[in-house]
Amino acid sequence: MFVNPKRIRALVRKEKAKGPVVYWMGRDQRARDNWALLHAKELAEKNDSPLAVVFCLVPRFLGATSRQYRFMLQGLKEVERNLRALDIAFFLLQGDPGREIPTFLGDNHASSLVCDFSPLRQSRIWKEVVAGKIELPFYEVDAHNIVPCWIASPKAEWAAYSFRPKIHRLLPEFMDEFPPLKRHHVPWKDDVQNDWRSAECGIEADTVPESNFNRSGEVAAAKQSLDFIENKLSRYESSRNDPSQDGQSHLSPYLHFGQISAQRVALQAFASMKDASAFLEELIVRRELSDNFCYYNPDYDSSQAFPKWARETLEKHAKDRREYLYTAEELERARTHDDLWNAAQNEMVYKGKMHGYMRMYWAKKILEWTRSPDEAQQIAIYLNDRYELDGRDPNGYVGIAWSIGGVHDRAWKERSIFGKVRYMSYKGVSRRFDVEAYINSIKNIKDLT
Ligand code: FAD
Ligand code: FO1
């Protein structure tokens, strides 16, 4: 048995022994270190069946732009090559997964379906629709979290302090080494040709300028991870909160598209350094806490999901005078009075990835400079998902809800507009790092693009 059965749950229970096994790839877009693919392979081996991986490309996806689609498709082409080398077929479908996946299963007389896990609404709806249409076993495998989301905790956690001990208790069981993905012994019946060009033409995304972020794909992700662990992990704790230094791993776009497994990164970090706890706190506890939040709060992208104390305090200050008020367009164009905020916005627009520390300041200022917390949250989600390569992720919904709505945080000293939600000021931030050096570094990126 390759895969810990606790990582798997049945969405449809039916018996059907013969026919190909299909893995419907969604969030975990990689061949290597993928528990969902390993489970599908295990099923196919048991039945001497062929194995196929399908990805269903939707023409519009939650405000994703040309930038994110390009990054994703580049990675998927590499997945196709890696799978082909192992006699595993890869199909790029196009259209609505609720229709395309059942049709593909029927046309190919599939015996079972495996999918990966996402706590987000769209993915859950797709799976419900597919489950309602098919008469074969359908399994979901959490290939994204180290501790499967439904095992980590049975409820929405208050904060990292309540979630951390649960994760740490379960980690020894789930930090197991991945078996290699071996060549499949029953090849697909015919040669598969995917029409990538037609898929690219079918995308209906808005066009935004390309970012200058690194290459996409499994190879680039693995290289980024090793480079970080060898050269930067030891100073992560002291430098990660300084936007004028390059102290972060830059793994979030790869993690978002599942081009690298967080478990692989964690195994490498553990092996390389005795105490990598600052990094592992972010990579494991904070990241998996975001999945926990979205999984148990269906309103994860609305102010309804803010804790009661935060909703009450924000409501009390709803009519407070705003010294500056900006429209979504002014914010998008980085036309504010605050050079630090403008630099952060430009970093996101031109680089495709804003520094983690600046993301907090950025979102909190949107609360300060717009008419209401609801408006602030919607603008922050819109901009984040339009420009960040790692956008549309539980980490994004939670990061924004933390900054604007006190999610996973506590009450602080009461003040205007924010009420008891934690405040950040230009002056306070300037004491922590060299603001001018950061602003200049962003001017350089902008000039180069
Ligand atoms: P590193 O510091 O090297 O951390 C490694 C990994 O740990 C990250 O890739 C990420 O998976 C995880 N991680 C780090 N910080 C956090 C955090 N605060 N919460 C949860 N997981 C974390 N992250 C996204 O992946 N997508 C988003 O759209 C996103 N939007 C954000 C918006 C706001 C307003 C805030 C405050 C945070 C947001 N984050 C988001 C969380 C965090 O800022 C990024 O994950 C991080 O900056 C990514 O850079 P990195 O991979 O170099 O991080
Ligand atoms: N997943 C898909 O299954 N099909 C898509 O067309 C698709 C596009 C896409 C674009 C941007 C982005 O950030 C993610 C995208 N994803 C897509 C992946 C998505 O994160 C996962 O499918 C989630 O599980 C859905 O909640």
Domain at 411, CATH number: 1.10.579.10
Say if CB 261 and CB 33 are below 8 A apart. yes
Measured in angstroms, how far is the CA atom of residue 110 from the centroid of ligand 1? 38
Nearest CA to ligand 2 atom 5: 57
The answer to whether the CB of 67 is under 6 A from ligand 2 is: no
402 in any annotated domain? yes
375 in any annotated domain? yes
The answer to whether the CB of 297 is under 6 A from ligand 2 is: no
Nearest CA to ligand 1 atom 13: 282
Nearest CA to ligand 2 atom 3: 26
The answer to whether the CB of 259 is under 6 A from ligand 2 is: no
Say if CB 350 and CB 208 are below 8 A apart. no
427 in any annotated domain? yes
Question: Ligand 2 pocket: which of 99, 104, 392, 393 to mutate (most atoms <8 Å of CB)?
Answer: 392
pLDDT of residue 14 exceeding 90, the answer is: no
Instruction: Tell me how far apart the alpha carbons of residues 365 and 347 are, in angstroms, rounded to a whole number.
Output: 16
248 in any annotated domain? no
pLDDT of residue 1 exceeding 70, the answer is: no
426 in any annotated domain? yes
Nearest CA to ligand 2 atom 20: 27
pLDDT of residue 109: 96
Measured in angstroms, how far is the CA atom of residue 69 from the centroid of ligand 2? 9
pLDDT of residue 80 exceeding 90, the answer is: yes
Closest CA to 242 of 431, 442, 408: 431
pLDDT of residue 189: 87
215 in any annotated domain? no
Instruction: Tell me how far apart the alpha carbons of residues 401 and 409 are, in angstroms, rounded to a whole number.
Output: 10
Task: List the domain range (segments joined by +) for residue 26.
Answer: 5-144
- Domain limit, last residue, from 91, 117, 144: 144
pLDDT of residue 17 exceeding 80, the answer is: no
pLDDT-based confidence at residue 394 (cuts at 50, 70, 90): very high
pLDDT of residue 196: 97
pLDDT of residue 356: 98
pLDDT of residue 292: 98
Helix ranges, 157-285 (H): 160-174, 196-202, 218-231, 236-239, 252-256, 262-272, 277-280
Instruction: Tell me how far apart the alpha carbons of residues 365 and 30 are, in angstroms, rounded to a whole number.
Output: 37
Task: Report residue 134 as tokens.
Answer: 């098919």
Overall average pLDDT of the 37-50 stretch: 96
Handedness of CA 159, 162, 165, 168 (dihedral sign): negative
pLDDT of residue 165: 98
Measured in angstroms, how far is the CA atom of residue 284 from the centroid of ligand 1? 11
The answer to whether the CB of 57 is under 6 A from ligand 2 is: yes
Which atom of ligand 1 lies closest to the CA of 384? 28
Report the pocket of ligand 1 as residue ranges, CB < 6 Å: 240, 248-252, 255-256, 282-283, 286-287, 290, 356, 359-360, 363, 384, 388, 390-391, 393, 395-396, 399-400, 402-403
pLDDT-based confidence at residue 13 (cuts at 50, 70, 90): confident
- Average pLDDT over the chain reads 96
DSSP-assigned beta bridge partners for residue 225: none
- Domain limit, last residue, from 144, 159, 188: 144
Question: Mind listing the pLDDT tens digit for each residue in 174-201?
Answer: 999 999 999 999 999 889 999 999 999 9
pTM: 0.98
pLDDT of residue 446 exceeding 80, the answer is: no
171 in any annotated domain? no
Q: Three-class SS of residue 292?
A: helix
Nearest CA to ligand 1 atom 27: 396
Measured in angstroms, how far is the CA atom of residue 150 from the centroid of ligand 1? 22
Nearest CA to ligand 1 atom 2: 248
Question: Mind listing the pLDDT tens digit for each residue in 222-254?
Answer: 999 999 999 999 999 999 999 999 999 999 999
Which atom of ligand 2 lies closest to the CA of 124? 26
The answer to whether the CB of 406 is under 6 A from ligand 2 is: no
Nearest CA to ligand 2 atom 22: 26
Nearest CA to ligand 1 atom 52: 250
The answer to whether the CB of 120 is under 6 A from ligand 2 is: yes
DSSP 419: B
Question: Ligand 2 pocket: which of 22, 23, 24, 27 to mutate (most atoms <8 Å of CB)?
Answer: 27
Domain CATH number, residue 24: 3.40.50.620
pLDDT of residue 325: 98
Instruction: Tell me how far apart the alpha carbons of residues 276 and 274 are, in angstroms, rounded to a whole number.
Output: 6
pLDDT of residue 386: 98
Which atom of ligand 1 lies closest to the CA of 354? 47
Closest ligand to Cα 284: 1
Say if CB 87 and CB 187 are below 8 A apart. yes
The answer to whether the CB of 101 is under 6 A from ligand 2 is: no
Task: Report residue 249 as tokens.
Answer: 């791993």
206 in any annotated domain? no
Measured in angstroms, how far is the CA atom of residue 262 from the centroid of ligand 1? 13
| Ranges 269-278, 294-303, 376-385: which has the least confidence | 269-278
**What count of other Cβ atoms lies within 10 Å of the Cβ of residue 58?**
18
- Domain limit, last residue, from 144, 176, 207: 144
Give how far the C-alpha of residue 398 lies from the chain's centroid of Cα atoms, to the nearest Å.
Answer: 11
DSSP 270: H
Domain count, the chain: 2
**What count of other Cβ atoms lies within 10 Å of the Cβ of residue 207?**
8
Closest ligand to Cα 292: 1
pLDDT of residue 7 exceeding 70, the answer is: yes
